[in-house]
Amino acid sequence: GAVVSQHPSRVICKSGTSVKIECRSLDFQATTMFWYRQFPKQSLMLMATSNEGSKATYEQGVEKDKFLINHASLTLSTLTVTSAHPEDSSFYICSATRETQYFGPGTRLLVL
């Protein structure tokens, strides 16, 4: 139990385009999901908290208009990187809460 999936696992896009990443809790419902970003050889940094049925809350320094989060159901949260730039290239990881946080496998984004 407590499996979290992400799609896609990796994506390459051109600068200026938008990319959507999905996070699903496969065998449990999660009212709260989290989105993290991880740069090479660094730790995970929390970007935002995704709340089902309400607006996401963003950590300091994270642009809400650039990283759009939608928590449409108890099993799905999406992160859309709008007008992506090369500096947005990173490893994006989501987690879903069920007593503790269970993490997805991550999505590697490369913006050319």
Partner 1 sequence: GQQLNQSPQSMFIQEGEDVSMNCTSSSIFNTWLWYKQDPGEGPVLLIALYKAGELTSNGRLTAQFGITRKDSFLNISASIPSDVGIYFCAGPTSGTYKYIFGTGTRLKVLA
**Cβ pair 94, 34 in contact under 8 A:** yes
Backbone angles phi, psi at 35, to 5 degrees: -120, 130
Residue 112 binds partner 1, judged by CB under 8 A: no
Residue 89 binds partner 1, judged by CB under 8 A: no
Residue 104 binds partner 1, judged by CB under 8 A: yes
Residue 32 binds partner 1, judged by CB under 8 A: yes
- CA dist 30 and 106 (Å) reads 18
Residue 78 binds partner 1, judged by CB under 8 A: no
Instruction: By CB under 8 A, name the one of 25, 49, 77, 90 that touches partner 1.
Output: 49
Peptide bond into 105 cis (omega under 30): no
**Site string (2-31) toward partner 1, x via CB under 8 A:** --x-x-------------------------
Element (H, E) at 52: none
Peptide bond into 8 cis (omega under 30): yes
Q: Which residues bind partner 1 (CB under 8 A)?
A: 4, 6, 32, 34, 43-46, 49, 91, 93, 95, 97, 100-106, 108
